[in-house]
Amino acid sequence: MNIKASTMHFKDLNDAIKNSIDNNIKIDNCLGQRYIGSGLSDKDILIEGIPGNALGSYLNGSNITVMANVQDAVGDTMNAGNIYVHGSSGDATGYAMRGGKIFVKGNAGYRAGIHMKSYKEKLPVLVIGGSAGSFLGEYQAGGIIIVLGLNALSDPPVGFFCSAGMYGGKVFLRCNYLPVDLPSQVVAKVADELDMNEATEYITEFCNEFNFNKDEILSHNFYVLTPNIENQYNQLYINN
């Protein structure tokens, strides 16, 4: 099914998507319509143009590909599925993700991955090809965040307060230098072979989608950030 969004009201566009008997949907001329794909579990959506806030919020198994930039709160509280962004994303990308994967070719704004969490077989993954703004992974409780720093203007490719309040999950940073303001409850180390075995699967998918050289990316130094197991609040929030 092909939909020319143009000046369609976001509710009319979302109703057309949800009511379509076709599981493969292409949206042309997207102009900031919000909530596209919200809660869907059975669609493959290709978007030409720029969708509005909360793209793929509560996504429950659908796949969404955007051939441009996206706005704020992409994948808000998503549960399953995949979102591929062939541009950059706004603030709060992957906010409170519970599962699924988000791949951003370019940069992400502030508070990407905030409140990400995992439970049993659910493991949310956020891969950012460029750089991320301040408060990356704030209050992260689970899942994996990877920032590759491709064409980044700074090293490390993150803003201030990276992993502030972190009590679960992992953050991989492809860089030569660690952020100078890492909080005391975070442990940082050079990623070893076991760490990279975990990250490589998602870096490979990123490279396949956006046509990057995986070997070149993996040849660079990576750091991995994890919560300090002695953090007294750790067991209050995560499931083992």
> Mean pLDDT for the chain?
94
pLDDT of residue 235: 52
C-alpha span between 62 and 59 (Å, rounded): 7
**Confidence check: pLDDT of 233 > 70:** no
Cβ atoms < 10 Å from Cβ of 2: 10
Q: Are 33 and 51 in contact (CB under 8 A)?
A: yes
Read off the pLDDT of each residue in 205-212 and give the average, rounded to a whole number. Answer: 98
Q: What angle do CA 114, 117, 120 make, to 5 degrees?
A: 170
* Mean pLDDT to the nearest integer, 2-31: 96
Tokens of 158: 């993150």
pLDDT, residue 184, reads 87
Question: How many C-beta atoms surround the C-beta of residue 46 within 10 A?
Answer: 16
**Top-ranked range on mean pLDDT: pick from 150-154, 164-168, 195-199:** 195-199
Instruction: Write down the pLDDT at residue 67.
Output: 98
CB contact at 8 A, 143 and 119: no
Where residue 231 falls among pLDDT bands split at 50, 70, 90? Answer: low
What pLDDT was estimated at residue 240?
A: 45
**What is 88-237's CATH number?**
2.160.20.60
